[in-house]
A and B are shown apart, each in its own frame.
Chain A
Amino acid sequence: MITKDAVATAPAAPAPPARTPRPGAPGKRRAWDEVPRSHIYLPLGCYLLFTLVPFYWILLFALRPAGSTALVPWPMTLDHFGKVWTERSFGTYFQNSVIIAVATLVMTTLVALAGGYALARFDFRIKRGFLLALLCSQFVPGALLLVPLFQIFAELRMINSLVSVVIAETVFQLPLSMILISGFIRNVPYSLEEAAWVDGCNRFDAFRIVVLPLLRPGLIAVGSFAFVHAWNHFLFALMFLSDQSKQTIPVGLNTLMSSDSVDLGALAAGGIVAAVPVVVVFAFIQKWLITGFSAGAVKG
């Protein structure tokens, strides 16, 4: 993939990944092809139980009054949410987490799009070395670079600024995002772009009008990956943001967890606050995620 000429080997199928036909779409299977229903529902049911009981447990603690031991959250109370949002400053944390996650998403996608396009469409001298660096950076543990990163951000006067966390999250998201995006771009035939040039578009317009719309599933997959990682990640925010008003939700959760007398209701409510945005985003993009990855992930 490094040496090949993008023009010559552009895949023949122009279809965007979203249109990949679903295997086993209703009506396509014959009766003898059917897997017995019990082979589906039984293991699936067990696994669902394993997935959902933990969610139920935290919901239970978030919704039932303190001290209750009932297994259903009734009578229901929203006191824990009010408490965690104001007294435990989850309102502020939420705002910071949103800023960090959205900024990381935007930055990762833009930078990775530019780099991914270069990797997919050009042969240039340092390309092989650059790809190797991207790959090797996958093996660099962010957690182990905490101290040198701290020193750099201190030098740049960015400690206690959300910018430091955005940069750190972006940098560690970039390599994989760029490799994925270059795979997505390679799946779009170069001839489409060339046709647009003939029609008078410059390179940027051709990319924007012809290629970008076809990249939608892949970009949604990469962007949501960046968002979820930045929303969830804990160590960078813990290390680089010492001011309490700059903290993020995972750090807030950890503080709740490690206090001497854990307020279980507040902890559970905080957990729900942490989970809702990503789970909602996830439910929305889940379909895109699968088609997006099937287009580019494995082909690298």
Chain B
Amino acid sequence: MAQAAAVAKPPAPPPRRRASATPRGLPYLLIAPAALLMLGFIAYPVISVFYYSLQNYNPTKPWRNGYAGLGNFTHAFTEDPQFWDTLTFSAKWVVVEVGLQLLFGLALALIVNQTFVGRAAARALVFSPWAVSGVLTSAIWVLLYNSQTGITRYLADAGIGAYGTSWLSDTSTVFPAAVVADLWRGVPFFAILILADLQSVSKDLYEAAEVDGAGRVRQFLHITLPHLKDAIVLSTLLRAVWEFNNVDLLYTLTGGGPAGETTTLPLYIANTSVDAHNFGYASALTTVAFVILLFCSIVYLRLSKFGGGDK
């Protein structure tokens, strides 16, 4: 770590030479700390996951370890209903979460982009859950949903609704309950990014549209939305990957339950490797998750026209 920090300083070029006559190695020197860190702690683990995906590897059952070929993969696709269940749930979770977060985030950004009394305070307040951790979000919503400590109890005390069970332990309510909890923390992310992009819309365009008699809705559809397109494409894709991969919230909120109802693929993988020690199989599942995400990343590259967009 100390080493990395030391190399991070761009070294001064030799004295008495013009600064623009840069030593050829400088760019390589500058990216070296980042490249080394990523090689050691991302690339190497990824490669080892690929390697183990072709192995039977379970530290608690060493007598069965060895080369497995594609056995782990065929097991996942043909014999493991949990794989399909968790994959389907992951897809559902990502689509619902990202869709709703975008919708509310966009609306919120448009509102706090207006001029009104108390705007600064309103922004600070509505954005604040962004800074809160997944674990804390869980702690808060566990309290809120619990039948003893939550809102329903007070509503029932006042004669509204019934004293029920916790929404998190009922299979019919756990999904919307988890979605709302994650929305609470996720909407500000979109609101912040979209608000940031709204700052750069040219005022002249709106004035011209106004002169032409375009109403607010048409202005939004023809000026604001096209301007935001890139930001929306980028933030939704980044967020989709993040929502797919992130296990903090569901791990602590529902633990994947009740009855495996809210287990995402990464959560299932974490359970398989950490609790069941079946690391070979978990690696194969990880590889499958990679391929799915790689597909997303290609779509992401295409849509964002990365590398050629601003020539």
Contact = CB atoms under 8 A, between A and B. Distances in A.
Chain A interface: which size bin?
A: 35 or more
Query: Contact residue range for chain B?
Result: 35 or more
A297 B306 contact: no
Given A114-B31, A145-B49, A178-B34, A22 B310 contact: no
Contacts of B103: none
A47 B126 contact: yes
B30 interface: yes
Interface in A267-300: 267-268, 270-271, 274-275, 278-279, 281-283, 286, 289-294, 297-300
Interface of A: 1-4, 9, 20, 22-26, 28-29, 32-33, 35, 37, 40-41, 43-44, 47-48, 50-55, 57-58, 61, 71, 103, 106-107, 110-115, 117-119, 121-122, 124, 126-128, 130-131, 133-149, 151-152, 163, 166-168, 170-172, 174-176, 178, 194, 197, 201-207, 228, 231-235, 239, 250, 253-254, 256-258, 264, 267-268, 270-271, 274-275, 278-279, 281-283, 286, 289-294, 297-300
Given A4-B311, A54-B141, A294-B197, A286 B127 contact: yes
Interface string B130-164: 11111110111111100001010010000000000
Contacts of B142: 257
B131 A234 contact: no
B133 A250 contact: yes
A147 B282 contact: yes
B8 A111 contact: yes
B77 interface: no
Given A124-B28, A130-B35, A278 B131 contact: yes
B199 A298 contact: no
A4 B310 contact: yes
Given A4-B311, A57-B144, A144-B245, A114 B33 contact: yes
Contacts of B108: 47
A257 B246 CA distance: 19
